Amino acid sequence: MATSSIHIGTSSAGALIHNERIFSPDYLISNNKNINEYKSYTNLHISELENLAKIDYQKHSINNRKLPKTATLIKEAVINLEAHHNLNDLEKVKDTLEKEYGYKITDISIHRDEGYIFTENKNYIMGRNQYKNLDETPHIAELDKDNKFYEWNLNNNKWVKGEEIKDYKIEKNYHAHVVMLNYDFSKHRTIRNNLKDLSKMPTLVAKNLGMA
């Protein structure tokens, strides 16, 4: 059994492009988008909700003051999963994040097309764009349109497609992206959770998912 973890960070409306696989990144281990799951919980796009939050804040603030530019209105939680988890399981997490912490969940995506491959002699990093240091070249692999993995190598700082990788195994990275609005329309401000409450979140999520 995998150990549960949840990490929350700042996000943007552009995160949905990645989460919905509108464009496929180069580090995927499957070309089949149907193995993923996605659900939206609002009729409005997150960018529209973000704009409504800014309007609401200014309307109810003293002297018609605008929301500070440093305020974070969109957050995203990344949650590791096991192979059997689905959107029904994530509904419990959604309820926890909304009821216990006040976030408004707008979108949830489950990704089953990420991970890495390895052979007896090599562990591969997936995707050329994920590798930033050109001074030390690790083993890079990418899945081609023919559903075969190929090794990529640097030659004079240019990527060259190599041989097909055979006799490999796949290590999958099951996880979910939970996009949420970090604004309380009833209090007309961004949500403020203290560290003590936030420290309980991993335990609550683990309980929701039946994980350690």
Instruction: For residue range 191-210, list pLDDT tens digits in order.
Output: 999 999 999 999 999 999 99
Query: DSSP state, 129?
Result: G
DSSP, collapsed to helix, strand or coil, labels residue 141 as strand
Tens digits of per-residue pLDDT, 140-157?
999 999 999 999 998 888
Do residues 111 and 20 touch, judged by C-beta distance below 8 A?
A: no
Report, as an integer, the average pLDDT of 38-66: 95
Report, as an integer, the average pLDDT of 57-73: 95
Alpha carbon of residue 72 to chain centroid: 17
- Smallest CA-to-CA distance from 49 within 13, 22, 99, 15 is with 13
Between 28 and 13, the more confident residue is: 28
Whether residue 163 is predicted with pLDDT greater than 90 in this model: the reply is yes
Q: What is the mean pLDDT of the chain?
A: 93
**Banded model confidence at residue 80, pLDDT cuts 50, 70, 90:** very high
Contact partners, residue 165, CB within 8 Å, separation at least 6? 117, 119, 124, 141, 148, 149, 150, 151
- pLDDT recorded at residue 154: 85
Burial class (CB in 10 A: 0-12, 13-18, 19+), 162: middle
pTM across the whole model = 0.92
Whether residue 131 is predicted with pLDDT greater than 80 in this model: the reply is no
Bridge partners of residue 154, in order along the sequence: 159
Whether residue 95 is predicted with pLDDT greater than 70 in this model: the reply is yes
